[in-house]
Amino acid sequence: MTTAVGPAAPRKSARRGGRWTPWLYLAPALVVLAALLVYPVYQLGLISFLEYTQAQVSGGEPTTFQGFGNYATLFADDQFWQVLLATVLFAAACVVTTLAVGCALAVLLTRVRAVPRLALMLAALGAWATPAITGSTVWMFLFDPDFGPVNKVFGLGDFSWTYGRYSAFALVLLEVVWCSFPFVMVTVYAGIKAVPEEVLEAAALDGASQWRIWRSVLAPMLRPILTVVTIQSVIWDFKVFTQIYVMTNGGGIAGQNLVLNVYAYQKAFASSQYSLGSAIGVVMLLILLAITLVYLRLLRRQGEEL
């Protein structure tokens, strides 16, 4: 009785070698990411455990280890919790609105002819390519109480959008959605075009409405893509800085429009409390990691492959 041992061994070694092949291709990008991300994150975490103010930066006083003292100071500050709540609610509103607008326009792109589709794509990509500070300045002009065309068209007089807390957040939300929805639109549109036409035609023949086709056919098939754009939108919108800083002049009247990124900037650079600013940055990083991991875990439980 003979056993064929020869061919199996090369097959196993080939499988083991193939397992490392993708990592070899990714190695250069991973090295660059490590240099650009790992070391700054390490420095951020290190400073958050030190007493690091202007006195230490200038060399007037020695740097001392504070342990979790900076975090205790931060968590005892009522303003931090107010800003955190405002950041979470604002980011959630931005993400939901961006996904709704982007997905709706992606479906619209599949329904219009070539010329309107090209015009919409170019307009959206123009908004996407506009720098945040430029877009924020343009939106400030559009909604200016004295010279802005929006107030004149709607007869709002000299209404100041940035004076009230909620109107200022609404104005920033519109600008964030305006510069963020093209990514969702283009990504979801590419996913829709990859869905076989026969599936959509069968759903239409069964009498399904456009909303039902999206909810029952397209959304489940596009779930991996929607996962990517959702996580990306959460990361982008949770750490919004430029739009808030420019459009509310550094956080609004008495800090009523502060979000965590602007709050960290004020602590680190306006107040020279670099350790507290670093602690806020670490908290933001942990929150985003937790949200991403929880979301991916929920999808894995539903049997989704990403």
**Tokens standing for residue 185:** 């639109």
pLDDT of residue 86: 95
Q: Are 168 and 262 in contact (CB under 8 A)?
A: no
Report whether pLDDT(243) > 80. yes
Report whether pLDDT(3) > 70. no
**Does the CA dihedral 281-287-290-294 come out positive or negative?**
negative
For 268-305, how does the pLDDT look when each residue is reduced to its tens digit (9 = 90+)? Answer: 988 889 999 999 999 999 999 998 888 778 777 766 55
pLDDT of residue 258: 94
Residue 57 to residue 47: CA distance in whole angstroms:
11
Report whether pLDDT(13) > 60. no
Instruction: Write the DSSP symbol of residue 53.
Output: B
Give the whole-number percent of the chain exceeding pLDDT 70. Answer: 92
For 214-229, how does the pLDDT look when each residue is reduced to its tens digit (9 = 90+)? Answer: 888 888 888 888 888 9
Pick the closest to residue 121 from 33, 213, 186 (CA basis): 186
pLDDT of residue 139: 93
Kindly provide the b/e burial profile for residues 8-29, where b requires at least 16 CB atoms within 10 angstroms of the residue's own CB: eeeeeeeeeeeeeeeeeeeeee
For 72-115, how does the pLDDT look when each residue is reduced to its tens digit (9 = 90+)? Answer: 999 999 999 999 999 999 999 999 999 999 999 998 998 889 89
Residue 36 to residue 261: CA distance in whole angstroms:
19
Using alpha carbons only, give the angle 177, 102, 161 rounded to the nearest 5 degrees.
Answer: 20
Report whether pLDDT(142) > 90. yes
Q: Taking the CA atoms of the chain, what radius of gyration do you get in angstroms?
A: 25
pLDDT of residue 1: 47
For 148-194, how does the pLDDT look when each residue is reduced to its tens digit (9 = 90+)? Answer: 999 999 888 889 999 999 999 999 999 999 999 999 999 999 998 88
Give counts: helices (H), strands (E), the chain: 16, 2
Report whether pLDDT(2) > 60. no
Residue 116 to residue 275: CA distance in whole angstroms:
52
Please state the pTM of the whole predicted model: 0.84
For 45-54, how does the pLDDT look when each residue is reduced to its tens digit (9 = 90+)? Answer: 999 999 888 8
Report whether pLDDT(34) > 60. yes
